[in-house]
Structure 1
Amino acid sequence: MPKEKKTKTSRVHTAIAKQGILFNKDFGQHILKNPMVIKSMVEKAAIRPTDTVLEIGPGTGNMTVALLAAAKNVIACEIDTRLVAELQKRVQGTHLNQKLQILVGDVLKTELPFFNLCVANIPYQISSPLVFKLLLHRPFFRCAILMFQKEFAQRLVAEKGDKMYCRLSVNTQLLARVNIVLNVGRNNFRPPPKVDSSVVRLEPRNPPPPIHYQEWDGLTRIAFTRKNKTLASCFRQSPVLVTLEKNYRLYCSLNNQEFPENFDIKTKIENILSEIDAEKYRARTMDVDDFMRILLAFNKEGIHFA
């Protein structure tokens, strides 16, 4: 009689089965299991005993317990109700229980309360929108220690001229000081992701730059659509010209100005770029100050991007 074929199971699957949890790939669930990495992240946050710490995606609570030991209280935002139950069970009956507040739901759709610090192993697929949700949050927090996919982290800190430099880089650096503080291999997670990770420190600029962020974002979106092309070339695209003329008409209307006869938005844009010698600039070699100068020049002439 032939022997029954055994199904192979990895140590990861065995460990997950013991906890009774199957991690959901749709939520980007990769639980940080290395206590030394957790300890390092908590130390780099420089938590004070009076601090309220926001944690996003606490998972089974490995990081949460360490944060609770250092902070006055922790606000943990978790979308998966199974993991919420696991986290509640972990602190139940301990002195940490009263220090923990759990927000159940999608962090991108949740109104965040006040917090001093944010420390989190971020689900990779929400990295970009979450960065800007945090940086545009008011009142200001002191800093954030966040785990990202390594390539995403490299884009956050990339400087002009770097291969990784992009709209994400300049938009983030407008709003925050940012640097990589730790690299973390994929084997520090359960289950291991397909890529390595990096821990980034974000410190919001307070006071913020004196510009309308939506305007800034509109400008960088145009420039980085073709980051190797000149600004003059980027602004010649028909959809860009149509949008900017529409915005200019609105600007004239709101400011009780008569819309000029025989108005040509293309000529106006070319004149503005020429006046500040920016027509040959390329997004990949422009820093925050360059974009700021260009935005202010356009706004001065009534051209808006929001």
Structure 2
Amino acid sequence: MKMSKVRNFNVHQEVARQGILFNKSKGQHILKNPLVIQSMVEKAALRPTDVVLEIGPGTGNMTVKMLEKAKKVIACEIDPRMVAELQKRVQGTVYHSKLQIVVGDVLKSNLPFFDLCAVLMFQREFAERLVAKPGDKLYCRLSINTQLLARVDMLMKVGRNNFRPPPKVESNVVRIEPRNPPPPINYQEWDGLTRIAFVRKNKTLSAAFKQTTVVTMLEKNYKIHCSLNNKTVPDDFDIKQLINHVLKKIEAETKRARTMDIDDFIRYK
């Protein structure tokens, strides 16, 4: 049998066995292990009054479990085939009236009100970056920016063989709980500070702020600031001297982003 025919045969066998051919290029890896699904639902601590947003319900393995616990589930799915599978799964059951399906890209959809969307599964390394602490190898700008606005906890590991078809990487489940109220800071300034500091997180802040592109940007921003506030820029103004003065004043010259926590950056901001 020719290779092309073998591939086609395998594809047809896959469709016959699963009932639907999943598109791996779109990240369609369906969680099949009922014990993992049950554990995730339990860790989400759903209440009978919760309206839950589920992104990418697939064929509904987890959706049904959440419908058992919550008041309502809003399932956002981009693949019409998956939508049809999900509709068939709840048709004629007590869960039909509790499920609302939004067809389309969740990033482009106008979503109705929901209470809970904070128990998420990511590729393992990405999840580990979310929860990484100062000094950890994976600690980065993503870590500190996420933890500034939310409490992030690692809930469980999920091996690749718990999916159909198995993805190339392992996964982790995290809980993200927004801080309420959020910290009272200027987020634009915070983003600018951490962006510079983490470009080379192992370098000292002194070295990070002396990069040519950073110096040029800061000088431009300073002059714009002076112009907007009717301040005159001295003829002998030297942005490098100002940078050195500020870093020395706050005793930050030898600090490195990889070891700095949120309080450190807030203090320096």
Whether TM exceeds 0.5 here: the answer is yes
Q: Deviations over 1:3-24 (max 9, x none)?
A: 9999489999845433442212
The 5 Å alignment of 1:129-140 reads none
Residue 64 of structure 1 pairs with residue 60 of structure 2: no
The 5 Å alignment of 1:76-115 reads 76-115=75-114
CA distance in 1, matches of 2:256, 2:9: 50
The 5 Å alignment of 1:277-292 reads 277-292=251-266
1:183 corresponds, among 157, 175, 179, to 157
Map of 1:55 onto structure 2: 54
Task: Give aligned-pair identity as a percent.
Answer: 70
Contact 1:12 1:190 in 2 (8 A): no
Q: Deviations over 1:13-41 (max 9, x none)?
A: 84543344221223211110011111111
CA distance in 2, matches of 1:189, 1:172: 27
Gaps of 5+ in 1: 119-143, 296-306
CA distance in 1, matches of 2:152, 2:9: 38
Contact 2:29 2:163 in 1 (8 A): yes
Residue 165 of structure 1 pairs with residue 139 of structure 2: yes
Gaps of 5+ in 2: none
Q: What is the deviation of 1:253?
A: 3.7
CA distance in 2, matches of 1:185, 1:177: 24
Map of 2:182 onto structure 1: 208
CA distance in 1, matches of 2:110, 2:220: 33
How many residue pairs match? The answer is 268
Residue 154 of structure 1 pairs with residue 128 of structure 2: yes
Q: Deviations over 1:172-221 (max 9, x none)?
A: 11111111111111110001111211111111111101113333222212
More displaced 10-residue stretch of structure 1: 160-169 or 236-245? 236-245
Residue 233 of structure 1 pairs with residue 207 of structure 2: yes
Give 3-state SS (helix, strand or coil) of 1:117's partner. Answer: coil
Counterpart amino acid of residue 105 in structure 2: D
More displaced 10-residue stretch of structure 1: 249-258 or 228-237? 249-258
Map of 2:17 onto structure 1: 18
Give the alignment's TM-score, normalised by structure 1. 0.80
Q: What is the deviation of 1:156?
A: 1.2
CA distance in 1, matches of 2:140, 2:156: 22
1:250 corresponds, among 212, 218, 224, to 224
Contact 1:74 1:100 in 2 (8 A): yes
Contact 1:12 1:191 in 2 (8 A): no
More displaced 10-residue stretch of structure 1: 109-118 or 256-265? 256-265
Q: What is the deviation of 1:111?
A: 4.0
Q: Deviations over 1:231-270 (max 9, x none)?
A: 1111111222222233333333443444444332222222
Contact 1:148 1:199 in 2 (8 A): yes
Contact 1:72 1:99 in 2 (8 A): yes
Give the alignment's TM-score, normalised by structure 2. 0.90
Give 3-state SS (helix, strand or coil) of 2:114's partner. Answer: coil
CA distance in 2, matches of 1:163, 1:202: 21
